[in-house]
A and B are shown apart, each in its own frame.
Chain A
Amino acid sequence: DAGVIQSPRHEVTEMGQEVTLRCKPISGHNSLFWYRQTMMRGLELLIYFNNNVPIDDSGMPEDRFSAKMPNASFSTLKIQPSEPRDSAVYFCASSFIATNTGELFFGEGSRLTVL
């Protein structure tokens, strides 16, 4: 079975440009999570969705960040405009909330470098 699929795996962009990261969760999962990993701050939850509805976006750093989940099989995380401090690895994870015992399944991550 395919796991969580993220794209692009690597993105290098210049400050001020728009960045869109994409995620396809595991089929049948109904919760989706976006995490950011940096050396300084470790793993931080940005936002998560249950049944395509955003539940908690308190981790989104600022208005430059936005996330959508238009259907059960696709989500995007957008940064506009991007800044050098946004450089990080962004992970998407999914799970089945109703009966699972909590483990999340992670994608391979999107490494973003903003110059």
Chain B
Amino acid sequence: AQSVAQPEDQVNVAEGNPLTVKCTYSVSGNPYLFWYVQYPNRGLQFLLKYITGDNLVKGSYGFEAEFNKSQTSFHLKKPSALVSDSALYFCAVRAGSYGGSQGNLIFGKGTKLSVKP
């Protein structure tokens, strides 16, 4: 069964410093991986995805993620954190193959990112 793990409940970063939010995955077949962000009292917003191709994926708000097949990881990164990046971040994997009927996403438990001025 597909799954993702986010080993950190919380990540604390100073504004201007680089940030990394970790995610590892376990899938059968090719992984389709996603990052979402959730601000307080809001729904989840799509940040970026990896389907195939370049291992470095660029997304919204200056975020990027690096797919590493050998380490089964898909860590979210940003070169310079902003206070406004403080939110809950979710890694997710698609339950089924591309185009298949199982289009639901399986989410990690989330990592709270706190960026201090």
Q: Using CB atoms and an 8 Å cutoff, list the residues of chain A in contact with chain B.
A: 4, 31, 33, 42-43, 45, 48, 50, 55-56, 91, 93, 95, 97-109, 111
Contacts and interface: CB of A to CB of B under 8 A. Distances in A.
Contacts of A102: 32, 34, 49, 51, 94, 98, 103, 105
Contacts of A111: 41
20 contacts: A4-B43, A33-B103, A42-B107, A43-B90, A43-B107, A43-B110, A50-B103, A55-B101, A56-B104, A91-B43, A91-B44, A99-B99, A101-B51, A102-B98, A104-B46, A104-B104, A104-B105, A105-B46, A106-B44, A111-B41
Contacts of A91: 43-44
A64 to B, nearest CB: 22
B104 A45 contact: yes
A105 B105 CA distance: 11
Main SS of the interface on chain B? loop
Given A42-B110, A43-B107, A103 B46 contact: yes
Interface string B35-67: 010000111111001010000000000000000
A33 B104 CA distance: 7
Contacts of B109: 42
Which among A93, A95, A101, A111 has the greatest number of chain B C-beta atoms within 10 A?
A: A101
Chain A interface SS verdict (over half): strand
Interface string B95-117: 00011011111111110000000
Contacts of B41: 109, 111
Contacts of B44: 91, 93, 104, 106
Contact of B43 (A97, A99, A103, A107): A107
Nearest to B32: A102
A105 B102 CA distance: 16
B43 A48 contact: no
Contacts of B99: 97-99
B84 to A, nearest CB: 19
B18 to A, nearest CB: 25
A4 to B, nearest CB: 8
A30 to B, nearest CB: 10
Contact of A50 (B45, B94, B101): B101
